[in-house]
Chain A
Amino acid sequence: MAKKNNRVQMNLKEQPVPEGSHLLEVDDLQMYFHTQDGVVKAVDGVSYTLDRGETLGVVGESGSGKSVTAMTIMGLIDMPPGRIEGGDVRYRGQSLLQMSELQMQDIRGNDIAMIFQDPMTSLNPVYTIGRQLGEGLRLHRGYTKEEALKRSIELLEMVGIPNPEQRVKDYPHQFSGGMRQRVMIAMALACDPDILIADEPTTALDVTIQAQIIELMIKMQEQNGNAIVMITHDLGVVADIADKIMVMYAGRPVEFGSAEEIFYNPVHPYTWGLVRSIPDPVMTEKHPLTPINGNPPSLVNVPTGCSFSPRCPYATDKCRTERPEKYVTETGHYSTCHYSMNPDFVAKNAPTTSRTRTTVQDKVPDAVKEGGEE
């Protein structure tokens, strides 16, 4: 490890991924906040793997822990009040949780980059776009001001901003929302990171712009080969982009599988709810919007048993008392519901898009609509 003016340079990207390891491994990660009001179990047992060129979609409601997990991986959580309670995060075989702050500063922006939800406020209003784009380059690669400026112009062009030579001297408020998010993407990709974590990048944008941004991310991924972690509350957003999907609820992953499996063979009732919540392009009386009733639970007082049981239309006494294990299939598709492994249960209740359904249902069960119980 080289040390350069009080910074650390590990050059991890140049080392190969060890045999048997993935680019990124999140292994049963647990991170709780210890606050005055109690212990908040924000991340409670998250596991997944990711390799270059792959995209993971992390889907869940507000408060499900999807953003906090990403922030924990990046080491951006204040460690009091936060504390790692268990598990590990490994990048190229090395544990990120064990690294010092200086080592993490080398990784951030360089090996793993992150973009955030609101492009309006995520850019510093008093510096030009060019300076902010070039900052990472000058920091991680020692570019001079001129080199950074040149590369910034290239980056702007890459993300589709017209007239980049002029715009590189502009300030953030002179860009519109969609343009600003493109700039954020350019900024994140400036140092060729292996992994791009995108935390709700399209939530604050118009629907038409959303599609453009996602297209841009796909294109960049094809060009650079980076992995993407796409965090969102909208299952529809990850439809095009994700290879694998992890559905989170109350700090825990409730279902994980390939995109195919999640959309066409979901086995967890919460996932069913999400699938059903995707607005049907044709809204008829037969297919009304079906919300999931109720609110996410407080992460301080997590209910006993399955955390989804208070809202689950199929909940039984077992659900309310016993916390479900991870039920894994051979493909790696897992779900934390007591009844997921029961094919009849799945066949009977899964949404219309599911391929494993046997009974044709053109009317959604009343139990689901009213949030009642079986």
Chain B
Amino acid sequence: MGKYILKRVLQFIPVFLGVTLILFVMENVVPGDPIKLIAGEKKLDPVTEQNLRVSFHLIETDSDGNVIYDANGNTIETPLWKRYVLYINGLLHGDLGVSYQKSGQTVSSIIASKYPYTVRLALVAIVLEAVLGIGAGMISAIKRYSFWDILVTLLSALFVSMPAFWLGMLLQLFFGIFLKDATGGAFYLPISGVAGPYATFPGWVYYIMPAFTLAAISMAYTARIMRSQLLEVLNQDYIRTAKAKGLSKRDVIRKHALKNALIPVVTYIGIDFGTMLAGAILTETVFNWPGIGYETYRAITSRDWPIVLGSVTVIVLVVMIINLIVDVSYAFLDPRIRFGAPKDKN
């Protein structure tokens, strides 16, 4: 298994480089002078402008930071590849650059302030997803063709087919507005944001709708996967063996079927956690949740490319690390991968 882990980790590196390269190229392909984006309408004096260019590595400097001039006295544009190298170098030192618009703020500090919101939301959502998804899938498989099974199957098909942001808005409509009117303001859920110092509700209440929205679709997938995995496992010969040994049906499911069925399900949930940490742009936008997704979206619309590049890089890094962990734990959970091939010939 050690070899398996090592292989996975080694695969990580080229993929990471590929990803950052693509992002970097994408950002630099965009038309538009970054200086204009930074300055906006203001006219900058040449010194400030040149200093900006230096700080963004747009023109060549020597090791002391002085600008290099070519034969005609012009500044030299840093070639793309060199900027990429400088960028990676900065990345490895935790320096992601400086925002265009939020003057002075480093990208890392912005990300650091926003990410925790996303992480907390994702944690709540993943717990919801795991509990409800696995539970529903189990019931659906065990009591096949019963009322529950049909209900779960239809509901999960429904959730999987609706746009997440629309679900969020429906929830807002019902729980935030309709319920408020219907109960005369007595019972409702807050529509947006997190609890601030003047919040009407305790902090955790604000998590309910966004977390549910975030989890809803994943929950449906989890239930579907759990259901089909469990059905497939229950068809296996070793279940027949277990019954022939005299185990009760409950024990057969609990001890033999579940462990086999859960392995792919747990893997899916793990990967899904990574997806949630990718910022759930849609959910955060609908609920004004100040997380990384919302921030990335804001940065895209206002062309604040350092933030876009930085946050997407960080997000991708996080997702890849989680996928790596999930991969490795899959190897750990499944004895067929953990321990190798037959020890004897016949």
Interface positions of A (Cβ within 8 A of B): 6-7, 74, 76, 102, 104-110, 113-114, 116, 118, 121-127, 135-136, 139-140, 167, 170-171, 173-179, 184, 187, 206, 208-209
Task: Compute how far the CA of A177 lies from the CA of B342 in the bound complex, rounded to whole angstroms.
Answer: 9
In the complex, are the beta carbons of A76 and B246 less than 8 A apart? no
> In the complex, what residues of A have CB within 8 A of residue B240's CB?
76, 116, 122
In the complex, are the beta carbons of A121 and B237 less than 8 A apart? yes
How many chain B residues touch the partner (CB < 8 A)? 27
CB distance from A10 to the nearest CB of B (A): 12
In the complex, are the beta carbons of B247 and A105 less than 8 A apart? yes
> In the complex, what residues of B have CB within 8 A of residue A140's CB?
246
In the complex, are the beta carbons of B342 and A171 less than 8 A apart? no
Q: Using A108-B244, A175-B343 as known contacts, list a sample of 4 further A-B pairs with CB atoms less than 8 Å apart, ordered by residue number in A.
A: A74-B244, A124-B241, A124-B242, A136-B246
> In the complex, what residues of B have CB within 8 A of residue A108's CB?
243-246
In the complex, are the beta carbons of B238 and A174 less than 8 A apart? no
Given A173-B342, A175-B342, A179-B346, A105 and B242 contact (CB-CB distance below 8 Å) = no
- List 19 contacting pairs A-B, 8 Å CB cutoff, sorted by A: A6-B248, A76-B240, A104-B246, A105-B246, A106-B246, A108-B245, A121-B238, A124-B242, A124-B256, A125-B238, A125-B336, A126-B259, A127-B256, A136-B245, A140-B246, A171-B335, A174-B342, A178-B346, A208-B346
Residues 289-317 (chain B) with a chain A CB within 8 angstroms: none
Interface centre among A76, A113, A126, A208 (most CB of B within 10 A): A126
- Residue of A with least CB distance to B257: A124
Tell which of B245, B248, B342, B343 touches A135, judged by Cβ atoms closer than 8 Å: B245
Q: Does B344 sit within 8 A of A, measured CB to CB? A: yes
- Residue of A with least CB distance to B338: A171
- A/B pair count, beta carbons within 8 Å: 97
Tell which of A74, A113, A121, A170 touches B343, judged by Cβ atoms closer than 8 Å: A170
Q: Does B334 sit within 8 A of A, measured CB to CB? A: yes
- Residue of B with least CB distance to A173: B336
In the complex, are the beta carbons of A124 and B246 less than 8 A apart? no
> In the complex, what residues of A have CB within 8 A of residue B346's CB?
176-179, 206, 208-209
> In the complex, what residues of B have CB within 8 A of residue A109's CB?
244-246
Tell which of A76, A122, A179 touches B344, judged by Cβ atoms closer than 8 Å: A179
Q: Does B339 sit within 8 A of A, measured CB to CB? A: yes
Q: Does B101 sit within 8 A of A, measured CB to CB? A: no
Given A6-B248, A109-B245, A124 and B341 contact (CB-CB distance below 8 Å) = no
